[in-house]
Each structure stands twice: as C-alpha cells, then as structure tokens.
Chains A and B, each alone.
Chain A
Amino acid sequence: MAENAFTIVKKKENVSVKRKKIVEIIPKLLLSPTFVVMVVFIYGFIFWTIYISMTDSKLMPNYRFVGLEQYLILFKEPRWWVAIKNLFIFSFLFVLLCVVIGLILAILLDQKIKGENVLLTIYLSPMAVSLIVTGVAWKWILNPELGLERFMQQLGFINFKFRWLVDPNMAIYTVVIAAVWQATGYAMALFLAGLRAIDNSLIEAAKVDGASMFQIYTRVIIPCLKPAFLSCVVILTHIAIKTFDLVMALTKGGPGYATDVPATFMYAFAFNRGRLALGAASAVIMFIVVISIIVPYLYIARERR
C-alpha cells in the first residue's frame, strides 16, 4: 500500500517534470523557425555580401577571391566620393532640421491649445505619404518651368528665381527639403510623447523656485527629453543613410550624378552595370556606417536599463 502510494507520487512527479520540459521547449520550438530564417536571410546574406565584395563578380556572382581590390577601385571612383559627400550633407541637415523644427512644433503644440488633435494630424500626415509621392510632388513644385518659380513669376515677381533642383551644386538641398517635410512630423510626435511623460512636479518645483518659462524649458524640460533626442537622432540617421526612393523619385541622382547617395550608387553599379562586386563593396561600407551608429546607441540604451 505504502509502496503503491510512493510510486504514484513518483509518477506524478515524472509527469510534471516532463510537462515542465515541454513548457520550456515549446516557446523555443515556436521561435526557432523565425530564428533560422533571420540567421539565414539577414546575417547569412550580410556575410555573403561581404564575401562577394572581395571577389571579381561582374554580371553574376562568382567566388574568385581578389581581396580588397574592389574597395581600392571604389575609393578611386569620383562618383563614390560625390555620394559620400552628399550622404554627410544630407544626413547632417536632415537630422538637424527635423530635430529643431520637430522640437519647436512639439513645444508649441504642448501649450494645451484648442484644436490640438487637428494640428497633430496635419503635421503627422506627410508621414503617411510614401517617399515616392513626396519625391514626385516636390519635383513638380521645385521644377522651374512648372512649379514655384513660374508661379511667383506669374504673380508678378518677374525676377524671382528658384532653380536648386536643376543646379548641380544645390540639388542635394532640395532632397533635404523634401525629406524634412516628410519626417519632421515624426520627430515632433516623438518629442511630444517625451514632453507629456515629464513629471509635472518638476515643472511646478521650478516655478516655485521662480524660474522663467524660458529657463524652465532650457534647464528642465529639454534636458528631460534626452532619451527622445537620442531615439530621434538614431532613427533619423539610419533613415538618412538608407535613403534611396526619395532621391530616385525627386532627382534620379541628377543633374548628372550630383545627388547620388550611397544607396543609389550601389543600385546603379550592382544592377545596371554588371559590377556586382563593386556594388557589394559599397553596400558593406554603408553597413559599417550604420553599425557604427547603431552599436553605440544599443550600449547607451542598455546601460540606462
């Protein structure tokens, strides 16, 4: 009898141990296909691209190793340096303007004004538009024969000139204008969320101490927005580095190749010109740039936790 009871207990224990194991395994089992897919299709292809960039692949990928030769060709290519220069001009201005304008809009919207929701929707709506549409619309607005310049001249300002789109030295700034128009609302939303999360007692305390409104913003509120700044800058920067569709729709990299960015450079060389290895090399450089921005961000985010 006693023996019997003992075995029953043992059996029950066994079952529960098994169950525990199953419970532990199921999530892993369910996650493993996604994990495998990610490893193969993201990390696998990253390494494949790195390898291809060290071969002499032309139209089709091949695996003849040539070391860093493609990178040397890349760094001698004047068009690549135009793309890199444009990337820095574009990223810097794009992030700066989005953050500044976004912050100002967020602060103004935070004044508990009437019709806040309507304004919020209006400012956020460009984000709902695809970059291609943004590009095409701004192409028409900025075209001297169709858009702004002609409009102003018809209004009577005969000497009005705005030809950045067709001026090789200024065309990259039209890309900045269109991109800022598109993404500022996003930055504003991030800052607004940050503003709303600030503890009111902090502001009250500052008021009690006799701080002016300006001081409250510069000394209390904006420093509190640090996390919002960080996310905003990182997200906008990686959008800037990947920019492709906007340039394609707005300028197609022109006039000439004056508005080429690394992504359009990569596309042209890998897919239009049968220089797959060179395209891969430029993709690897872009990858390194993104990594060098994202990794420090991840560390900072982790430390804070």
Chain B
Amino acid sequence: MNWKAVRIFLATVLLSLVFDCAAKKGGQVEVLHWWTSGGEAASVKVLKELLEKEGYGWKDFAVAGGGGDTAMTVLKSRAVAGNPPAAAQVKGPQIQLWAEQGFLENMDDVAQAEKWDELIPKVIADIMKYQGHYVAVPVNVHRINWMWVNPEVFKKAGAKIPKTWAEFEDAAKKIQAAGLIPVAWGGQPWQEATVFETVVAGVGGTEFYKKTLVEADPDAINSPTMVKCLETLKMITKYIDKGAPGRDWNLATAMIIKGEAGMQFMGDWAKGEFTAAGKKPDVDYIAVPAPQTEKQFLFNVDSFIMFKVKNPKDKEAQKAMARLILQPKFQEVFNVNKGSIPVRLGMPEDPFDSVARKSMKDFVNSAKTGDLVPSMAHEMAVMPAIRGAILDSVTKYLNSDMSAKDAAKAMAEAVKAAKK
C-alpha cells in the first residue's frame, strides 16, 4: 500500500472540507432550475452574483432538457429522499401539490417586509400562496396571447392585420391566394392548446375562459360557446401547411422570419427568435394581441418554490434569495435578457423593447379589469391531470374528423374523469 498517496488523499479531503465550511460561512442556497440555454443561464447568473455580493453561496443545480420534465423527476426523488434543494423552479397549481405534501417553507416574513402584496397582482400572488401563506416567489411574466405577423407577407397579399376571427379568415384567404402559408403552425399538443386557449379567451370571453379552463367546470365545457370556440379553432387549421404535424414552435417562428408564412400564435418567447435573427420589432415583424383578445392577458409566470431548510444560516440565505428575486435590479436584468416582463408592478419601462412595453401596459390594465387570467396550456391554471385531459381532447379533435359538438362533450367527460 502506498502510504504517501493515502496521506495526500486524506489531506485533500480534509482541506476541501475546511474550504467547504469556509464557503458555507454565510449560508448557501441550492437552486434547481432548467434555465440552461445561453440567454437564460446568463439571466440566472445575475441572481447568483447578487447573492454572493451579500455573502451567501449559490449552489447551481441545473437540470437540462424536456421543458422541466427531467428536472421534476430529479426533484421528486430528492424530496422523497428527504434532501430537497433550498429552491426549485416549479410553477402554477403544482405549487399547491408540493405544499400539500408539507415540503414548503412559509415566506410570509419576507413578503411582509418587502410588501409583496402591493407589488404583484392578486391573481398571481394567490398562485404563490398555500392556505394564505407565501410558499413561492414569482420571477417573471410571459404573455401567451400574442400574434406574430410578417408585414411583408400581408403587403404582398394585400391583407389587413386581423383584429377579429372574421377578419382573420378574410386575411388568411388573401394570403393563401397569394401562394403563401397564412398560419405557421406547430402540430404539437401544447402548441395546439396554446392557440385553443387564445381562441377560448377571444371567442368565449374572460368569464367563460375562467369557468372552463381555470375552474374546469364540465358543464361549462359541454356548451354551445365551447362548440363555437372549437369550430373557430378548426377554421384556423384550414390555413396551415401539410408539414405542420410535430413541428417545433421555433421552426414555425422561422417560417414567419423567412417570410414563408404570415401569422403565428405563440407566447412572447417567440421574440427571442426574431431578435436572434436580427429582426426589428414594428419593422421586420409586428406583435399584436391575438384576434379578439386585445384587452386580455393570458399569463405564464415562472416561480421558485422554497423548501424547508434545516441549517439556520442556509435559511437566511434562502430568505435573501426570495427578497432579491422581487427587487427591481434582478427583475430588470433578468426579464430584459429572457424577453419576459417583470412580475413586479411599477418598474421603469426604458430598458425594455416595444413589445415588452405594450405587454407591461396591458399587464397593469388587465389586472385592473379582471382580464388577467392564467394560461391553461402553460400549466398555470389547472392541475396537470386536468390539463392533460384537455390537451388530449383538443389534439384528438384537431387530428380527426370529430365534430365540434362531440369534441366538447368528450372534453367535458375527460375533465370529469381527471378530477377524481
């Protein structure tokens, strides 16, 4: 046995332990997230630097891939093993599921000191609370109901950017006649659901949207209004190309960028694709609210849930993280990078581009009128089981010759079954 090697090994272990302790002096947070792409990773790094400036450590626990599915699986096994990270990227009703299991920490003291109730709209605050207590911190807001338009295509076809679905059909026909594809469509269930909920909000109105896609009331789903929404949805798919099934959303956005197609219905993350391609808002592309949803704001809010932490110093670090997330500095840098808008109200608009500014304005106004509603397709409105049932019904309807009436009935039944 080589004793020298063993001694060196032991010394290394000891030293690393000492250094580890030194690093932990001010407490540290372990953060699970899946913001791993270039811009996103840079955005998260800002939070890390802010924490380190205050003397806290940041242990990155990034799990890439699958829109968070992989990360969720890792998180579940860590939580079941009794060793969860301090914070994890979890959103919407799933926050309630984690809180129900008794994993989450009460953040009310930070919230009161920082006046969160005044800073963020009530609809969003309610999602972050479990039995009236804050257990999660919102980070950013994405708007879902955008329509991305290539003005060049509209000009060629002599069409007008539609504000209603009737105008849409008119414009689509003109674009088709000009030999171009009216709608850039990605035939994946979540994308179909994104357009579906936009149509429901526009055709059915805010109250109907809340009844069907937030409360998931089967009787409201199996109704003539829903049939009308589904018929409108099917009408849109008359104007898509044959390569649409299975297409990724960014490939559909590329069709707009290249001028092959006229319109895409997608959330504001599509902006990143235009920016990356060197396109300018209002010149090379135009972003307008989807037809008939001018006043409405379907939101998708990313958030961190806060787990119970044993070490008091780490707990301190966790609270500092919660505080920093909602402070103006992080809200600005993060959201400018990511293309979303701040969840904190009353932020200066200057650093943001015109699309984000319009979004911020509509965010405030819709919060006042009650037209600020959570997105079903993006896991903000209903439990995953119900969302799955709705997605199945929508995609089945779009990919078969089922009638709208039968589809509404089937959806109501699927939702009823998923509620059990």
A interface with B by C-beta (< 8 Å)? 58-61, 73, 76-79, 139, 143-146, 163, 165-166, 168, 251-252, 254-258, 268-269, 271-275
* Whole-angstrom distance between the Cβ of B236 and the nearest chain A Cβ: 16
Shortest beta-carbon distance from A145 to chain B in Å: 3
Interface residues in B370-388 (C-beta closer than 8 Å to A)? 383-385, 387-388
Contact residues of B: prevailing secondary structure? helix
**B244 in contact with A166 (CB, 8 Å):** yes
The 5 closest A-B pairs by CB, nearest first: A145-B243, A256-B399, A256-B395, A166-B245, A273-B388
A166 in contact with B385 given A58-B97, A258-B399 (CB within 8 Å): no
Contacts of B80 in A (CB 8 A): 60-61
**Cβ-closest chain B residue relative to A82:** B396
Known contacts: A255-B187, A256-B395. The answer to whether A273 contacts B385 by CB under 8 A is yes
Contacting residue for A168 out of B76, B383, B384, B400, CB 8 A: B400
Instruction: Give the distance to chain B from A266, nearest Cβ to Cβ, in Å.
Output: 13
Residues of A near B387 (CB, < 8 A) are 273
Q: B36: CB under 8 A from chain A? A: no
Residue ID in chain B nearest A267 by CB atoms: B69
B258 to chain A, nearest CB (A): 13
Contact B384 A256 (CB under 8 A): no
The chain B residue sitting closest to A171, CB to CB, is: B245
| Interchain nearest-CB distance for A270 vs B (Å) | 10
B18 shortest CB reach to chain A, Å: 36
Does B395 lie within 8 Å of A254, measured CB to CB? Answer: yes
Taking the closest CB of chain A, its distance from the CB of B99, in whole angstroms, is 11
User: A257 and B395 in contact (CB under 8 A), knowing A60-B76, A163-B242?
Assistant: yes
Nearest A-chain residue to B392, judged by Cβ: A79
* A139 vs B248: C-alpha distance when bound (angstroms): 13
Cβ-defined contact, A143 with B243, below 8 A: yes
Interface residues on chain B, number (Cβ under 8 Å): 34
Residues of B within 8 A of A251 (CB): 246
Q: Are A144 and B392 in contact (CB under 8 A)?
A: no
For B250, list chain A residues within 8 Å (CB): none
Q: Within the assembled complex, what's the spacing in Å between the Cα atoms of A61 and B73?
A: 12
CA separation between A256 and B244, bound complex, in Å?
Answer: 12
**Nearest chain A CB to B89 CB, angstrom units:** 15
A-B contact count (CB 8 A): 88
Within the assembled complex, what's the spacing in Å between the Cα atoms of A168 and B395?
11
Residue of A144, A268, A271 touching B72 (CB-CB under 8 A): A271
The answer to whether B399 and A255 touch across the interface, beta carbons within 8 angstroms, is yes
Extra contacts, 18 of them, besides A166-B243, A274-B97 (Cβ < 8 A), are: A59-B94, A60-B79, A60-B80, A76-B417, A78-B410, A165-B245, A166-B187, A168-B399, A254-B187, A254-B245, A254-B399, A255-B187, A255-B245, A255-B395, A255-B399, A257-B392, A274-B383, A275-B384
Query: Contacting A268 at CB < 8 Å: which of B79, B188, B243, B388?
Result: B388
Bound-state CA distance A271–B392 (Å) is 16
Residues of A with C-beta under 8 A to B396: 78, 256-257
What's the Cα separation between A5 and B410 when bound, in Å?
93
In the complex, are the beta carbons of B241 and A145 less than 8 A apart?
yes
Cβ of B101: which chain A residues have Cβ within 8 Å of it? 59-60
Other-chain residue from B241, B242, B385 in contact with A274 (beta carbon distance below 8 A)? B385
A111 to chain B, nearest CB (A): 43
B 385-416 to A, binary, CB cutoff 8 A, 1 in contact else 0: 10110001001101110000000001000100
What is the CA–CA distance of A178 and B93 in the complex, to the nearest angstrom?
A: 39
Per the bound structure, the CA–CA distance linking A99 and B18 in Å amounts to 64
Neighbouring B residues of A252 by C-beta, 8 Å:
188, 246
Minimum C-beta distance from A245 to chain B (A)? 14
Across the interface, which residues of A come within 8 angstroms of B383, CB to CB? Answer: 274
**A272 to B241 alpha-carbon distance, docked (Å):** 29
Given A256-B395, A257-B392, A272-B69, CB of A144 within 8 Å of CB of B97: no
Question: How far does the alpha carbon of A256 sit from the alpha carbon of B73 in the complex, in Å?
Answer: 24
Question: Does B189 have its Cβ within 8 Å of any Cβ on chain A?
Answer: yes
**Interface status of B420 (Cβ within 8 A of chain A):** yes
Q: Please, which residues of chain A bring their CB within 8 A of the CB of B414?
A: 78
**Shortest Cβ distance from residue B229 to the other chain A in the assembled complex, whole angstroms:** 18
A79 neighbours in B (Cβ, 8 Å) = 392
Cα-based distance from A207 to B101 in the complex (angstroms): 76
